[in-house]
Structures are given as C-alpha cells and as structure tokens.
Amino acid sequence: MLDAWSIAALLLAGPLVVVVGMKLRARLALSRAKHRSLAGHSRLSRRIAALVPTYSYDDAQFFRADDADAEIAARRRAGFEELSRKLRLKAARTLGRTAEAAPHISDLQFTESYRVPFQFSPRVKAALPASSFVASSSGVQVTDLDGNAAYDLSGSYGVNLLGYDFYKGCMERGARRVDALGPVLGSYPSLVADNAARLARISGMDEVSFHMSGTEAVMQAVRLARYHTKRSHIVRFCGTYHGWWGDVQPGVGNPEAARDTYTLSEMSERTLAVLRTRRDIACVLVNPVQALYPNIAAPADSTLVASRPDKSVDRAAYTAWLKALRAVCSERGIVLIFDEVFLGFRLAPGGAQEYFGVAADIVTYGKTVGGGFPIGVVCGQHRFMKRYRDDRPADICFARGTFNSHPYVMAAMNEFLLHLESPGMQALYRDLEATWAARTESLNRRLGERGLPIQIAHLSTVWTVCHTRSSRYNWMLQYYLRAEGLALSWIGTGRLIFSLNFTDADFEAVAERFLAAAEAMRRDGWWETGALATDKAIKRRILREMLGQFFPRPWAWQGVDVSPTQAPPTQAPLPR
C-alpha cells in the first residue's frame, strides 16, 4: 500500500512527465524541420569544419585526381601551362600590383586562397594568379592596369544594376547638389525627406531608417522585431546569407555558435509546423535570391568538388511557399523580413514583394540603392519601426550611426530613385523577364548543340553555371572564362551578375566568349572522365583522402601520399 509520500511523488511526477514530453516533442519537431545537409545543422557543420585537415596534391596527382589515364593527364598539364602563360603575359602589371598588395590586405589573402577547392589551391595560386585591380569602367566592361577590357559579370556583388556609367553620373550629379553642405553629419540634408517618401512608396511601408551597409540594415530589422515581439529567436533558412554578423551566420565562418537562431529548411511543411507551435520566434528572414537554389549556399567554385546540378527557378512553387510563410507569420505574430540587400530593384521596381506578390512586414535594401555609395535601408510598418514606448520612457530600441544619412550618399540615392520612375526604366522592367529568359535559353541551346556539359540556371539577371557532368575539375572553367575576357567575382562561376544595360550585341559577345572558354576546357581534357565518374565516387575519394591525413599509410591514394609534405616547394603556403 502506497504511503502519503509515494502518492505525492506520483502526483508530482505526472505533470513533470507531461512537460518533459512536450519539450521533447517540440525539440524533435525542430530537428525534423532542419535541412538534412550539413548546412542545415550549423553547430555540427562548425565542428566538422574544424576537423577537416589541410593537404594538397602533388604534381602527379594534381592532374589525375579522378584517376584519369596518362594521355588525359598530359593534355591537362599542357593546357594548364598554356593557360598560365596566357594569363601572366596578358596582365603582368595588374598581377604585379596584386602580389605587392596581398601581404597588406587580409581580404585579398582570403579570396586568393579560396577560389578553388583547397587541395588544388597552392598550385593554382602559383600558376594561375587572378588579378584584383582595375583602372576604369565603361559601358559593361572594366579595364585592368594593363589596358585589358573585360565584360563585367561580377556585378560588383549586386551594386551594379544599371551600369557603372550610370552610377558615375549619380555620384557626380549628387555631389554637385550638396556641395554647399559638405560632410555635415547629424542634421539631415533636405534630400533625406524625399528619399524616405520614395522608399516608403516603393516598399509599401510606413517608415524608413538609413544605415551604412546591408549587414547593419538586417541587424536593425532583427533588433526591431525582437523589441516589438518580446521574443528571442530568429529563423533563417538553410543556405541563406544575411550579412556576416553572428546571429545570421551561425555556421562555418563564425567563431562562435549563435544561441538564438534556428536554421530551418526552406519550402518545408515541417518548418511551417515549427513556426505555428513555438512561442519564442521573433522573426523570419527571407533572402529571395534563394529561389534560385533553395537550401544551399550561393555556389562558389571553391566548394565545387563534383557537379552542380540544374536548379532552375520554379517561380510558382516559390511564390506558394512565400504565401504560406506569410500566412503563418501573420497568424503567430511573427515579423516577416525580406532581405533584399542583394536582389532589391533587380526583379521589379517593388522588388521581390512585387515579383512574388507577397508583402513583408519589414524590407531591407542596400547596394544599388545608394547610387554608387555604401548604404543600408530598413523599411517597415510603423508598429515595427518605432524605437520607444510611450508608456515606458526608458524602454527603447537604440540604433544610430555617425555616417547614416551622409549628404553625398543621400544625393546619389536620390538620383537613383528619380531614375527608377523614368519612362525608360519602366520599359526596361516591363521586358526584363522575357529578355533574360530568351538570352539564357539561347546560350543553353548553343551549349547543348555543341555537347558541352554545362547549362545556365537563372533568376532574371543572376546566373549560376550548372555542370551536368561529374568532374574533379569543373572549377577550372572560371580561369578559361577569365582568359577569354570575362570578369568574375572571386567565387567564380557560381554567381554571374549582369547589369541591365547589356545590349543584345554585348550579350552576344559574352556568349561567344563563354562558348570559346568551354570549348577550350573540353579540348584540354578537363571534362574527360577517369575512374571517378560520379559525384558519389568523387566524394568517397575525398573522404578517403581526408582520413589519410590521420591514418596515412592504409589510406594512401594509389601509393602517393597526399600529405602537406608532398606539396612542391614552389607552391605557396596553405591557408590556416
């Protein structure tokens, strides 16, 4: 027979079991809503990244990392050496300046080390150096210090929407409009009022605040969401980029784990279920460019170990996803934030909200809206933008900055915003989708007719080069493109960004150079397949190589060690 203490213990244990069960159930739902890739598990990805050993391929293995035969390896070696000679002769002065500056510029050291998969990086850095300096821009081209003009497919990371000449004009005309004021800060130049009104109208929001960068704009948007909801956590989606601050970059690249961030799977019913049930979510961040590659990071050649399958945008499916997300956020009082720092004004005058037909609670802009100067903008509804409480005077949400609303930035921005309403710009937007769909289809057709194993996926003027055949050397395409006079960003072929001032003739010139580069790459044997002819086989080999750094002899690759000591003495040191 149970005594009083036992009965009391049972009565207390019952509710405790229920509470624990509910917490376990919520935790399980959260885990199931994460994407199955490493990118979907930020803490695990950081731990695994810390274990990846540094090693490089020796001279023989560099050209036979896929177990290709001697004839193919010889073609690759000859092509590599000729490409090296061509790039060096073409841009000797520019490469010299790059080498001279690199020891003093940490960003340059990073980008030079991460253009290709790390196993190939030392030899590539030594033989195929990429120039990082330019002297001028005109039309759709940039010119380096040696006078080489190249068609610009870097887009200045999204800034260059309308062509560099346009932004030069914005900056020059804007400077003249505020030259009497100069760099007076704190007080607003009169143009701020007009800019705020125009941005409120474009975004469909009530209020605007200005910041120095897109990263700062997103930081303020998240801070405001937390302030007004009194909740702690933010939701970001697997693969998205929202700037480099800690809470929105919880995985590799952040020295510390983010504590109040959920990284969930995009376009997932399980994610919607989590949003419906949790009470700690302040906001959901959406980067609309992810419609091009849901749940993976913007592709970079440095991580291109095999193929990159076609990820063409399904606009209808992504629209349906955003509408479902909008409904759940409205139901649960979660702030829906569209991060349009990169994509804003590229899809439509009203950005992704107009393009997909979904309204956000807060929108962030940056890059191109500054008219050529650095800028970050937050636009939102009044109930989310207010930074203080009428009934609690000490309860505030602080955000200021010395250079917010700098007169020269505001003047250049005004020039940009005025141009958006011009008849010519409206006509450009009207035909934008059809123009770039036709251009993409045309190049894809020509690539297919020539039997080249690449295709283009796109979201308007943002392209990703998709490799339809598995290869250890797909990343080499970026160097053949550069040799043909196409300027890329440091991540290579994963993201090509066209400005809207590309004419049909300009685009045809780019297409011809693209085809020539691909033909040269095929001629030099980089797409020939050795024994490793599938993504699965390639990834297994890389795993064995990594294990070989901890257990060298049993895992040696065909009798050739891939330890750091095998690197030729002429190679540059590996990144650490």
Lowest mean pLDDT, pick from 303-317, 324-338, 345-359, 405-419: 303-317
pLDDT per position as a tens digit, 128-174:
988 899 999 999 999 999 999 999 999 999 999 999 999 999 999 99
Give yes or no for a contact between 377 and 198, defined as CB atoms under 8 angstroms apart: no
- pLDDT, residue 541, reads 93
Give yes or no for a contact between 128 and 477, defined as CB atoms under 8 angstroms apart: no
Place of tokens 């120095």: 212
- pLDDT, residue 234, reads 97
pTM over 0.85, yes/no: yes
pLDDT per position as a tens digit, 529-538:
888 889 999 9
Q: What is the mean pLDDT of residues 391-406?
A: 87
Lowest mean pLDDT, pick from 80-84, 152-156, 300-304: 300-304
Lowest mean pLDDT, pick from 18-27, 67-76, 280-289, 470-479: 18-27
pLDDT band at residue 576 under the 50/70/90 scheme? very low
Report the alpha-carbon angle 421-197-213, nearest 5: 90
pLDDT at 257 over 90: no
Distance CA 454, CA 466 (A): 6
Report the alpha-carbon angle 350-228-349, nearest 5: 5
In angstroms and rounded to an integer, the radius of gyration of the C-alpha atoms of the chain is 26
Give yes or no for a contact between 89 and 131, defined as CB atoms under 8 angstroms apart: no
pLDDT band at residue 572 under the 50/70/90 scheme? very low
Phi and psi at residue 292, to the nearest 5°: -75, -30
- pLDDT, residue 109, reads 92
- pLDDT, residue 429, reads 95
CB atoms within 10 A of CB 396: 12
- pLDDT, residue 553, reads 58
- pLDDT, residue 332, reads 97
Q: Give me 314's structure tokens.
A: 């399904």
Q: Give me 500's structure tokens.
A: 């809207």
H-helix segments, 133-258: 164-177, 191-203, 214-229
Give yes or no for a contact between 447 and 519, defined as CB atoms under 8 angstroms apart: no
Nearest to 346 by CA among 297, 390, 287: 287
CB atoms within 10 A of CB 427: 10
pLDDT at 22 over 90: no
pLDDT per position as a tens digit, 328-358:
999 999 999 999 999 989 999 999 999 999 9
- pLDDT, residue 8, reads 63
Give SS3 for 273: helix
pLDDT at 575 over 60: no
Distance CA 330, CA 311 (A): 30
pLDDT per position as a tens digit, 548-564:
888 865 544 443 444 44
Query: If you count them, how many residues does the chain have?
Result: 576
pLDDT at 250 over 70: yes
CA-based torsion, 37, 39, 40, 44: positive or negative? positive
Lowest mean pLDDT, pick from 19-28, 129-138, 183-192: 19-28
Burial degree of 255 (CB within 10 A; 0-12, 13-18, 19+):
exposed
Burial degree of 497 (CB within 10 A; 0-12, 13-18, 19+):
buried
| Helix (H) / strand (E) containing 484 | none
Give yes or no for a contact between 153 and 498, defined as CB atoms under 8 angstroms apart: yes
Lowest mean pLDDT, pick from 22-36, 99-113, 189-203, 327-341: 22-36
Describe the crossing of helices 4-32 and 269-277 by its angle, rounded to 10 degrees: 140
**What do you get for the CA distance between the two ends of the chain, in Å?**
68
pLDDT at 54 over 80: yes
Distance CA 278, CA 37 (A): 23
Beta bridge partners of 142: 137, 150
pLDDT at 308 over 60: yes
Beta bridge partners of 207: 380
- pLDDT, residue 40, reads 83
Give yes or no for a contact between 265 and 237, defined as CB atoms under 8 angstroms apart: yes
Beta bridge partners of 209: 378
Q: What is the mean pLDDT of residues 372-387?
A: 96
Q: What is the mean pLDDT of residues 98-108?
A: 93
Distance CA 352, CA 359 (A): 9
| Residue of 221 and 18 predicted with greater confidence | 221
Distance CA 479, CA 127 (A): 11
pLDDT at 397 over 50: yes
pLDDT per position as a tens digit, 449-498:
999 999 999 999 999 999 999 999 999 999 999 999 999 999 999 999 99
Q: What is the mean pLDDT of residues 209-233?
A: 96
Give yes or no for a contact between 126 and 572, defined as CB atoms under 8 angstroms apart: yes
Burial degree of 35 (CB within 10 A; 0-12, 13-18, 19+):
buried
pLDDT band at residue 256 under the 50/70/90 scheme? confident
Give me the percent of the chain exceeding a pLDDT of 70. Answer: 92
Report the helix count and the strand count for the chain, using DSSP H and E.
19, 16
pLDDT band at residue 38 under the 50/70/90 scheme? confident
- pLDDT, residue 298, reads 84
| Helix (H) / strand (E) containing 51 | helix 42-51
- pLDDT, residue 41, reads 85
Nearest to 57 by CA among 128, 129, 127, 117: 117
Give SS3 for 254: coil
Which amino acid appears at position 339 of this protein? D
Give yes or no for a contact between 382 and 234, defined as CB atoms under 8 angstroms apart: no
Which amino acid appears at position 503 of this protein? T
